Structure 1
Amino acid sequence: MPYLLLTLSALFWSGNFVLSRGMHAEIPPVSLAFWRWTLALLIIAPFGLRRVYEQRKLLIQHRRFMLWQGILGVAGFNTFIYLALQSTTAINAVLVNSCIPIIIVLISLLIYREPLSMRQSIGVFISLSGVLLIIAKGNINTLQQLTFNQGDLLVLVAALVWAFYSANLRHYPAGLHPITYLTGIMLTGLVFLLPCYLFEIQSGKHIQINIETILTISYVALFASILAFICWTRAIREVGANRAGPFIHLMPVFSTILAIVFLEEVLLGYHVQGMVLVFTGIFITTFSFRKQKDLS
């Protein structure tokens, strides 16, 4: 079950990457982040606010954890991604974003002293190889021709933010309901996003209201915000950040599939080879092979 939840998270976030890049001219980055979480909060409020009130003592007790998770997961990560996609390509963004599993491993090791087994290291390497194969379109020389700009650095910052958010979930308070948690970090994150949003408006950047922008904000609010965060949070609490990290490598796989389905792109051999490597790496990382004891 947790691995299905991680897979769904990667799928929902893949759509977020595709839409945010495609609509970057119509929706300013901070505006997309602000209205995404505002709409998500409105959707979850009928259930979440009551739970926040019921568990207010637990939230106050763990207020520092909630504060950091709201800053990192709500106000930080996607805002940096949206800012980055104003000036970088989707290929570069996916490439840099694929560093997240490695960063999670380093944070878990250096800060939380959580070691990575040899099997998990091999799995991360294999899945990352699959990502690079897809991005390189089967030709390693393609990677050598990639150029990086300020947007790519912002994606790297976003990757660091998300790695800290994921690793910090090890401190998730016992007994805290997932809806309470999500509502709490939304409220915290929006407090920090509001002044940034007002500053963006003052600078003359506004959303172009049309059916495409409304559908985009609705998708990222429901799927990439509420559902993906619930799935990711619950799964990491069960399997840990190190095992969950490689599932980020599913994002370029799903992005490729979405492009084939909705943009009528062609499925090529390197797509299949890259997907096989990604799934192989995830399988090695997440599943253990234990010899059954001889009961005779």
Structure 2
Amino acid sequence: MNFSTTTKAVLLLVLCAFFWGSTFPLGKNALNEVHAFTLVFWRFTIAAVCLAVYIKMIRGPKIILTTKQWVWAVAVSAVGVGGLNLGLFTGLTYTSAANGSLIMALSPLMTSLIACIAKRILPTAAQCFSLLVSLSGVMLVITNGHLETLLDMQLNHGDKLIFTGMLAWSLYTYCSQGISRWMPVIPYTFVGMVSGAVVIGVMCLMTPDVHPFDEFMNSTTVGMTEIIYIGLFGTVAGYLLWLNGVRQLGSANASLFFNFVPVFALFTSFLMGQSVTQLQLVGVAVVIAGLLLPRLITFKPRLTKS
């Protein structure tokens, strides 16, 4: 892999982090007008339609896979994509965008731990250190600085839902590295969007008070714009950039760029006038420090010859 390819992958992953980070406050705002299931349903429906049109335009080659490979790709997509969004947007109904983005920032560590479990190896000292420090930052925020609430297990219901979604996403990230070896990024993303739409569609049918079409049509112009942005940029562009980064850099390295998600989420929240507390800023700093310090300590600069 040459330097230009790596640099391009890095820049695209940063852009992906911006799209995803901005999705948190925009999604939080859109939930004032539509149900969480409605938001997720339109997110994946818009994404699936856009990808279907794009695949048709480029006349992509027909994907030939075994039945086992198709089942595995669909199952991973349904659990990872559907599970993440069910947990995330349902959770945002009960908690803040900043809290949600901070919990999602734990994904790199969880992806690494899943890899350790799958490969039956012990996590390194650096991984353990990162986990402890980053968890401390997240817990500082979601307990509002009162860590005794953790002992009573009285955490916000929304934070618990987003944590579950984060676990689903970490599993999806790890499994996607293997799937991308025999399935191109764009078709795999399309499978993910369709799987997500089907999962959420079933949830909508099972929930009598959810009416995706009526809720969308009765939304304000701002609400519709937010939903469309989440579908196009927070989903189509985000997932394509993410899976490309996983393919180029590997799941462990690509997942590090999730560190930028809470930063962009807080920045977007601030621009939108949503509250950003000092405690949340401290939490972001602690989480990022926990993720980066082990790498800075072990970093050895290249010596130049005089």
Pick one of 94, 99, 108 that aligns with 2:115: 108
1:55 alignment partner in structure 2: 62
Residues 25/212 of structure 1: CA separation in 2 closer, same or farther (3 Å cut): same
1:233 maps to 243
Contact 1:124 1:282 in 2 (8 A): no
The aligned residue for residue 30 of structure 1 is 37
Q: Match of 1:43, as an amino acid?
A: C
Q: Which runs of 5 or more structure 1 residues have no equivalent in the other structure?
A: none
* Deviation of the 1:275 alpha carbon: 4.9
Q: Percent identity?
A: 24
Partner of 2:270: 260
Choose which of 105, 115, 126 in structure 2 pairs with 1:98: 105
Structure 1 partner of 2:77: 70
Partner of 2:103, secondary structure, is helix
Which of 42, 48, 51 is 1:41 aligned to? Answer: 48
Amino acid at match of 2:77: G
Q: Which amino acid aligns with 1:258?
A: T
Q: Distance in 1 between matches of 2:87 and 2:276?
A: 31
Q: State yes or no: 1:151 paired with 2:161.
A: no
Instruction: Report Cα offsets for 1:160-208 as digits up to 9, x if no partner.
Output: 10010011122124353322221122223322222212233x3255524
**Corresponding residue to 2:227 among 217, 231, 237:** 217
Matches of 2:276 and 2:197 in 1, distance apart? 40
Q: Does 268-277 or 190-199 show the bigger shift?
A: 268-277
> CA offset at residue 24 of structure 1?
1.4
Give the Cα–Cα distance (whole angstroms) in 1 for the partners of residues 302 and 230 of structure 2. Answer: 45
Distance change in 2, residues 1:280/1:111 (3 Å):
closer
Query: Using a 3 Å threshold, how does the CA distance of structure 1 residues 108 and 148 change in structure 2: closer, same or farther?
Result: same
1:36-92 Cα offsets, whole Å, 9 max, x none, are 111112222222247797233137562023212320333221122111112223343
Deviates more, 1:239-248 or 1:279-288: 279-288
Question: Contact conserved, 1:247 with 1:282, CA < 8 A, in 2?
Answer: no
| Candidates 229, 244, 256, aligned match of 1:246 | 256
Contact 2:103 2:163 in 1 (8 A): yes
Does residue 203 of structure 1 match 2:213? no
* Unpaired segments ≥5 residues, structure 2: 1-6
Listed one character per residue, the Cα deviations across residues 129-163 of structure 1 (whole Å, up to 9, x for unaligned) are 77678x49xxx846667852322221121011001
CA contact (8 A) 1:29 1:82 kept: yes
Distance across 1 between alignment mates of 2:39 and 2:275: 27
TM-score by length of 1: 0.80
Distance 2:248 2:289 in 1: 20
What displacement does 1:218 show? 0.9
Alpha carbons 1:125, 1:281 under 8 Å: kept: no
1:131-170 equivalences in 2 (<5 Å): 135=141, 141=145, 148-170=155-177
TM-score, normalized by length of structure 2? Answer: 0.77
